[in-house]
């Protein structure tokens, strides 16, 4: 590993701190591109989210400076040719990284004959790519560093040090997203009034406190609580509070 300067370590600490900020999963890619561009100035950064199970979703965030029309054109072409990227074949064969250097997967001349290189790399002066592979069942999620020249050793060192934190942040965001989805399925079974009671009980309020907040009788809240527990298959108000805590995390990280 190349030796890092004080400013390198400072950027790395800022990067790790940024990963701790609450972020919705749908916004994770844009956040990763932004903070990775600050950590690794000079690299073309992209974050891909490909839904392999259906093939009908390809999220693509990047820091390439192009206008909206060119971006739409590039994205459409990328969806057509991304499977020609040797990293795709590496993933399909069971490769898990976590860091994969494209230069190690295919001879350069063979790669340059692909449509992927000609239509995605070549127009933007890209010749080299290093990817961080992120685990998510049914998806291909990658953070990629792209460069015209082989990535400098210092850039690779920073990426290696950051990778564990990137993977943990992504894992937390995915888990919170799943919790949030389950919580939404639960509350969808409830009437509007039951949802209000579910919310306040989830915040730790007693039946009496909830009744005061909603301007109704305590017995009314108790009756609604019986219905809520029956509809959601939750066993107690403690389970409701635990579920609400998961939903709050989902709202922050999903």
Q: What is the DSSP string of 172-236?
A: HHHHHHHHHHHHHHHHTTS-HHHHHHHHHHHTT--HHHHHHHHTS-HHHHHHHHHHHHHHH---S
Assess contact for 29 and 61: CB atoms under 8 A. Answer: yes
Crossing angle of helices 207-214 and 192-202, rounded to 10° = 130
Q: For residue range 29-51, what is the model confidence (pLDDT) as tens digits?
A: 999 999 999 999 999 999 999 99
Average pLDDT, the chain: 89
Q: For residue range 102-127, what is the model confidence (pLDDT) as tens digits?
A: 999 999 999 999 999 999 999 999 99
Q: Which residues contact 11 (CB under 8 A, 6 or more apart)?
A: 38, 39, 158
Answer yes or no: is pLDDT of 148 > 80. yes
Return phi, psi of residue 67, to 5°: -80, 170
Per-residue model confidence (pLDDT) at position 248:
54
Q: For residue range 124-145, what is the model confidence (pLDDT) as tens digits?
A: 999 999 999 999 989 999 999 9
Assess contact for 74 and 120: CB atoms under 8 A. Answer: yes
Write down the pTM of the prediction: 0.77
């Amino acid at each position: 590993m190349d030796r890092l300067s004080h400013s390198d370590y400072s950027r790395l600490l800022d990067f790790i701190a940024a990963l701790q900020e609450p972020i919705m999963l749908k916004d994770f890619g844009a956040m990763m591109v932004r903070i990775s561009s600050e950590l690794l100035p000079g690299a073309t950064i992209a974050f891909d989210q490909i839904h392999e199970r259906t093939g009908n979703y390809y999220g693509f965030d990047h820091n390439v400076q192009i206008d909206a029309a060119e971006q739409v054109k590039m994205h459409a072409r990328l969806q057509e040719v991304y499977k020609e990227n040797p990293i795709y074949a590496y993933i399909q064969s069971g490769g898990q990284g976590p860091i994969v250097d494209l230069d190690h997967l295919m001879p350069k001349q063979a790669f340059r004959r692909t449509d992927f290189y000609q239509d995605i790399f070549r127009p933007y002066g890209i010749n080299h790519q290093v990817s961080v592979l992120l685990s998510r069942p049914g998806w291909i999620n990658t953070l990629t560093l792209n460069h015209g020249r082989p990535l400098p050793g210092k850039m690779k060192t920073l990426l290696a040090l950051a990778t564990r934190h990137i993977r943990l942040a992504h894992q937390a965001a995915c888990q919170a997203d799943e919790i949030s989805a389950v919580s939404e399925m639960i509350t969808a079974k409830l009437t509007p009034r039951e949802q209000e009671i579910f919310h306040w009980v989830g915040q730790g309020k007693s039946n009496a406190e909830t009744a005061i907040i909603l301007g109704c009788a305590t017995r009314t809240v108790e009756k609604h609580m019986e219905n809520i527990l029956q509809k959601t298959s939750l066993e107690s108000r403690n389970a409701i509070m635990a579920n609400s805590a998961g939903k709050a995390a989902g709202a922050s990280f999903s």
